Every structure is written in C-alpha cells, then in structure tokens.
Amino acid sequence: MIGASISRWTMSYFAMALAWLFVALALMVARVGFPAAHLASPDTLVLVHVVCIGWLSLAMCGALLQFVPVLVAKPLYSEKWALPALGLLTAGLVALLAGFLGLGGRLPAWHWLLPVGAVLLTAGFGLIVVDLGLTAWQRPAGPARFVLAGLASLCATVTFGAIFAFAHAGWAGSIGETILASGVPLHAIAGLGGWLTLTAMGVSYRLLSMFMLAPDVDDRNSSWTLAAGVFAITVAVVGGIFAIWLSSGLNAVLSVVAALGLATIALYGRDVSGIFRSRKRRQLELNTRMAVLSFVSLAATALLGVLLILTGAFAAQVGAFVFLVVFGWLSGLVLAKLYKIVAFLTWLETYGPVMGRAPTPRVQDLVAEERASKWFVIYHMAVWFGTLMLLADQAWAFRAASAMMMIGIVGIIREVIRTRQLADVQSPLRLPDGACAPHLLFARS
Amino acid sequence: MTDKLVEQIRDALRVVIDPELGYNIVDLGFVYDISVLDGAVRIMMTATTPGCPAIHFLREGVANAAERVPGVRSIDIVMTFEPLWTPSCIEPVVRASLGFAAVN
C-alpha cells in the first residue's frame, strides 16, 4: 500500500478528548482536586484520570489510528474497532470517575464501579493495542518502534490501574492491597513516561520531518533514545514490582528511572535539534512553533526534576512536576499537532475527491494562524505561570492560571471548529462543484 | 503530435496541487515522466512521503485532470518513490517563493 486512507473516527476521538480537557480545566478552576485537595485524594484521582485518559489518551489514540498506517505504509488492521473502542473507553472512564467520586463521598459508595470501569477501559485499550500493534508490527522500524514501546507501556499502565481498581473494591486480596499501597508511582511512570511520552516522541519525529521537509532521523540515533526510554520503563515496572515484593522501598528503582529518563530526554533533544537543523522548509508553521514551546516545557521538566531532587524537595513538589509534564510537554505537543492534523484531514476529506476537476485551496487556507497563535501562547504562558504558582504554594494564583488555560483552550477549540466548517476558506475555492462540507465529528469516507 | 499532447497533459496537471506545499505538482517536480502511445497515457509520478493519505487523492486527481485532455484514450498512473522526491526537484522560482533552504 502506498497511501493510507482517512481514518473515519479520528475526529470523534479528538472531539471527545477536547471535551474532557475542558472538563478537567473546569474542575481545576472550581478547585476540585490538587492543589485544593491532597495528591492521593479521590478528587485528585478524578482530575488526573480525566486528563490522562479522557484528554491525552483519547487524543493520542485518535492520532495513532490515522498515523500508524502512515508510519508503516500499511492499512489499519481493523477500522471497525475504532468506534467500539471509543465507546468502551468513554463508558469505562465515566464508571471509573463515578467510582472515585464514591470513594470521596460525593456519590454513593458503589465501589464496584471501579472494577467495572477498569474492565471497560481494559477492553477499550485492548482493542486499540491489538489494532495499532498488529498494524505497526508489519514494519517495526523508525518511529513505529516508539509506538510499539508506547503500546507495551499502555498494557503495563492498564494492568496496574485494573489491580488498583479491584483493590479499592476489596476484590484483589492482600497482593492487590500491597500493590495499591506502593505501586502508584509505577502506574504513573508507565502511563506518562511510557505510553504517552514515548509515543509522542515517535510520532513527533515523523510529523516534524514531514511538515518541515527534513530527512527522517537516522534509526541508529533514535535507537539510543528508544533504548534509554524502554530501559527506564522496564526498570520502573519490573524493578518496581520486585522492590514491592521484597518490601525494599522504591527509592533505588526511582533513582535509576530518573537517570534513564534524563538520558532519554537529552537524546530526544539531540534528535529533534537535528531535524530542525536539517529542515529544507525555513518558515515554520504554527504547529511547529507551538511544538517548540512544548519542547521548552520538556526541557524545563528535566531541569525542575533535577533541582527538586538535589534540594530534596521532589516528594513535596511532585504535583508541580507532574503538572508541567502533563500540561506543558504532553498537552502542548498534542494540541499543536491536533491543530495541524485536523486541518490536513479536513482538506483531504473535502478537496481530495475533487482534485483534478476543480481548483482547490491549500491546507494553510483552512486555518488562520495569526488569529490562532494567541490562544496557544495564552495557554503555554498560563501553564508556566501555574507551575510556578504550584511551586510557590499559591493556590489562588494557580486557579487564575487554570482560568487562563481554559481561555486558551476555548480559543483553540473554536479555531479547530472553524477549520472543520471551512469558515476561513474564501469563495469560490471553499466548496467547488462536487465537494461536500465535512461533518464536524467524523469523516464521511 | 505526441509531444504536443504530452505538453497539454502536463498543463492540465497543474490544477492538481500538493495540499501541504500549496503548489501544483508539475512545478513541484512530482511528475517524473509522461509518455503517450496512440492516446494511451502513462504517467510516472511521486509524492513527498510514502504512506501519506494524500497520495490516493493525488493519483486520482492526476487521472481526473489527464482524462479531460482531448486525444487521451486511457490513463495508467505509476506511483513510485524511486528516486525519492527532494526539494531539489522543485522549479527554482517556486522553491524560492516557498522559502526553502539552499538545496544540496
């Protein structure tokens, strides 16, 4: 196969993901969860899972359903699984959140909702892992290796999460209780570091090369980055389980993971710098400029982590650290690329079928970058301000930062909707004869 | 006569653009070869990235544009990535306007 087809449900994943991001920011503005509540509180669990499953994982899955076939130049194993997976993931997340709210006394204490949510999420992620895994496995080279490592990490993350859910309901025995008591850092590292970060790194290699017309990163270079990342996650998961089994504490394991994580970030920085240096396209589009801001957040994350460890303040400030990882690095990159992917897929869906029969606009004609850039800048500034306010323990100022983030996100969502509506395309190019306006929430293909 | 038809086909293909670069595929150097034998047209072309979902539409677009040229009876499009397309394939004037770095 030379060209991938358009993923029918990628827009649905993106729409659901953005809706969950809006919910997360609304919760933060309403002072639900950290920092108003303790990191391990049920309210924080609600917030964390809305962000990590509802927003980041759904956005990543939607992007991968389109992108993995591009990476390996093979069709998706099964397009039919995408919508059921979205339904299972959404239902599972709602059940999980209801279970957490029950733990916190905001809903009746129906703890069985947690295992039910875990089963639904396991089924949904299972469909995604098999679908994307079997597709990527057909040509496991280049960035596709990062996706495979990310999917393996997703399996570990979901397994930990399911054990926790069953343990909360009292259905996991003493082993489950022990893992619940000590294993939360391993769950977080596998999810944020393995599934989301390694996958984002792999996808970014190819997207940056494609949109800047730079040569692909040499597999020999990216192999070191991948090896360091995979080693870090393996040490966290396998070493962490041994440490829990031996009751020896996680400090030694987490120290090794931190060192390997730093090495991964440094190597990734080298690879990305190489792509920028070798690019043929000098003018950077908005998505690339905003991706650079997420790279700044990733570098700041590494620096902050080192400073917090050296000053012995990591445990006390882990909330600020995770906030910067989630909203600066991961969300910043996903938002930048989502903005571009929506425009590109909307163009293909609308104008691809009439090419050769009528003049068509460019992808860039579907977006208004100058207008959109301010929303991204507001968002990133708010994230950095929010991180500083968390470090300074200024809860009210953090709330103001959350409100600023929300303003930025609402602006970005409005831009994405305008792209889907072709609102910025001038006539007569907007809808040539034979072209159909796209549906907001799914591709018509 | 054949040369004239080839040029007519080449001109017709200028309505097909690369959506990302925003220029027609002829000036971008995507069209490697056009040959005609008794109205049977064979077009060898490429795109920037193997696996890109735009490829299918580029191919269809080329077929749509070429079949409108009088004298064309059948069209065979060969999509190839050998040699790989590089920005050096772009017409120099277009390359400058796209803001490309000096091409090695």
Residue A57 lies in a domain: yes
Tell me which of A277-286, A306-315, A338-347 is least confident. Answer: A277-286
Report the DSSP beta bridge partners of residue B42.
B35, B76
**What part of A 311-350 touches B (C-beta under 8 Å)?**
344-345, 347-348
Residue B96 lies in a domain: no
Residue B9 lies in a domain: yes
pLDDT of A415 higher than 80: yes
pLDDT of B101 higher than 70: no
**CA-wise closest residue to A192 among A140, A249, A255, A236:** A236
Tell me which of A71-85, A159-173, A323-337, B80-94 is least confident. Answer: B80-94
pLDDT score, position B104? 40
Residue B41 in 3-state DSSP? strand
Report the DSSP beta bridge partners of residue B21.
none
B103 chain-A contacts, CB cut-off 8 A? 280
Interchain proximity B53–A6, CB inside 8 Å: yes
pLDDT of A432 higher than 90: yes
* Confidence category of residue B52, pLDDT binned at 50, 70, 90: confident
Q: How far is CA A388 from CA A40, A290, A317, A367, A383, in A?
A: 21, 20, 11, 33, 9
Give the span between the Cα atoms of A346 and A422, in whole angstroms: 8
Last residue of a domain, one of A139, A164, A193: A139
Interchain proximity B87–A72, CB inside 8 Å: no
Residue B33 lies in a domain: yes
Q: How many helices (H) and strands (E) does chain A have?
A: 17, 0
pTM above 0.90, yes or no: yes
- Is the confidence metric ipTM above 0.85 for this complex? yes
Residue B48 lies in a domain: yes
Residue B27 lies in a domain: yes
B22 chain-A contacts, CB cut-off 8 A? 362-365
Last residue of a domain, one of A94, A124, A139: A139
Residue B103 lies in a domain: no
Mutate to test the interface with B, among A76, A203, A212, A280 (most CBs of B within 10 A): A280
CATH number at residue B70: 3.30.300.130
Residue B99 lies in a domain: no
Distance (Å) from the C-alpha of residue A106 to the closest C-alpha of chain B? 47
Q: What is the pLDDT of residues A256-304, one digit of tens each?
A: 999 999 999 999 999 999 999 999 888 899 999 999 999 999 999 999 9
Distance (Å) from the C-alpha of residue B46 to the closest C-alpha of chain A? 10
Domain limits for position B6: 2-81
Domain limits for position A108: 1-139
Last residue of a domain, one of A139, A170, A188: A139
Q: What domain count does chain A have? A: 2
Interchain proximity A356–B103, CB inside 8 Å: no
A69 chain-B contacts, CB cut-off 8 A? 51, 53
Q: What domain count does chain B have? A: 1
**CA-wise closest residue to A186 among A146, A133, A242:** A242
pLDDT score, position A2? 58
